Amino acid sequence: MTPKKTLDTLPTAFVFDVFGTVYDWRTTVSSRISQVLLQKLGSLDGIEAYPSSVSFPDGSKPDLSTTDAVDRFSKSFAQEWRDSYKGFVGSNGGINNDDDNVGDKEAESDSYTTVDTHHLHSLRSLLEKYSLAHLFTFTETHELSKIWHSLKPWDDSGPGISGLKKLGIVSTLSNGNVRLLVDLQRNSGVAFDLLLSGQVWRAFKPEERVYVGACEILGIGGGEEWRVYCEGGGRDGNVGEGEWRRKERGRVAMVAAHIGDLRAAKACGLTTIYIERPQEDDDRDAGERYLRDGEDWVDMWVRHDEGGILEVARRLGELKKD
């Protein structure tokens, strides 16, 4: 089985996952950590000042004796930092979309914590874990945690998103808080029409209200649109409001490099576009398993060597011509 190459219908709006899909967080974050560590370690009275008792989770000792060794450690550190974010979203966002649990959802909203705050707390924990915290003032740690505001985009992101803007509204749909997304856009030059964040709903993907809420903000598949549809005499007596709204949400395409994100979006009725990015999917063999199991709910699949977002724009541009 090969992934589906294109869509049957043209979306009128596109919402993008940000970390990993639009921006190459791994290169930016690991490079900055390496740079800062080399500066800090270079100020010590010899590498011997670094505690020898520190070890990785598997028991091995971190080697910070050379520039290459620090680079390797920084890549591992960056991945661990990113993994802590996944755990944070899983424990705070919740994935229960049962409407009977409205009270639970309200309680979750009351305890909402931004991704920025998590990044700071998790960075401090990791620095302490590896006995590096004493090298940084609080201000320095806080500034380092903001590296997520200055991620480098993939080469295809800027031109690809510009191309998609000729076909419809292009927005983020990220768990990153609004200020983080604003800074990312300003620092990278990647220009979205709109910046949507789970912070709007005090929730995190893959919660249903994030995907449904995004569609409603875009004026697609909401209650108001349903009423206008009925008043206009277009209502099919065999189609209820829920079914109609879900079908309408298919006019919005969720674009992501994470199968789990797209699975949740598809459950809400959105069109799904999967872009492979190097080492990015949370589940390393998610794509292979998707194909092996014969699943077919991803509406467009872009392989890692096919051009990313530029390829999405190209394919949909061809579809529009037809």
120 and 212 inside one domain: no
136 and 162 inside one domain: no
Residue 80 in domain:
yes
Q: Which residues pair with 23 in a beta bridge?
A: 19, 153
Count each helix (H run) and each strand (E run) in the chain, helices first. Answer: 13, 8
d(CA 307, CA 73): 30
Q: Is the pTM of this model over 0.85?
A: yes
d(CA 217, CA 203): 15
210 and 312 inside one domain: yes
For 225-290, the DSSP string reads: HHHHHHHTT---TT--HHHHHHHHGGGEEEEES-HHHHHHHHHTT-EEEEE--TTTSSSTTHHHHH
Domain termination site, one of 149, 170, 195:
149
Residues 6 or more apart in contact with residue 17 via CB below 8 angstroms:
173, 174, 205, 254, 255, 256, 257, 258, 261
177 and 315 inside one domain: yes
Per-residue pLDDT of the chain (322 residues; tens, 9 = 90+): 556 667 877 899 999 999 999 999 999 999 999 999 999 888 665 444 555 555 555 555 678 888 999 999 999 999 999 999 988 988 775 433 333 343 344 444 468 999 999 999 999 999 999 989 989 999 999 999 999 999 999 999 999 999 999 999 999 999 999 999 999 999 999 999 999 999 999 999 999 999 999 999 999 988 788 888 787 666 666 778 889 899 999 999 999 999 999 999 999 999 999 999 998 886 667 777 777 787 789 999 999 899 999 999 999 999 888 7
Domain termination site, one of 149, 171, 203:
149
Structurally, how many domains does the chain consist of?
Answer: 2
83 and 121 inside one domain: yes
Expressed as residue numbers, the domain containing 267 is: 13-22+154-321
240 and 267 inside one domain: yes
Grouping H, G, I as helix, E, B as strand and the rest as coil, residue 14 is strand
230 and 254 inside one domain: yes
198 and 312 inside one domain: yes
Q: Angle, nearest 10°, between helix axes 25-42 and 138-145?
A: 160
Nearest to 157 by CA among 20, 310, 312, 262: 310
Q: Which residues pair with 253 in a beta bridge?
A: 14, 271
Domain termination site, one of 149, 166, 196:
149
The pLDDT of residue 54 is 55
Residue 29 CA: distances (Å) to CA of 127, 219, 257, 283: 15, 36, 18, 20
39 and 179 inside one domain: no
The pLDDT of residue 289 is 78
First to last CA, the chain: 26
Q: Tell the burial category of 2 from Cβ atoms under 10 Å away from its Cβ (0-12, 13-18, 19+).
A: exposed
Q: List the structure tokens of 284.
A: 């390393």
Question: Is the sign of the CA dihedral 85, 206, 112, 116 positive or negative?
Answer: positive
Amino acid at residue number 30: S
Domain CATH for 247: 3.40.50.1000
192 and 317 inside one domain: yes
262 and 158 inside one domain: yes
The pLDDT of residue 125 is 95
141 and 168 inside one domain: no
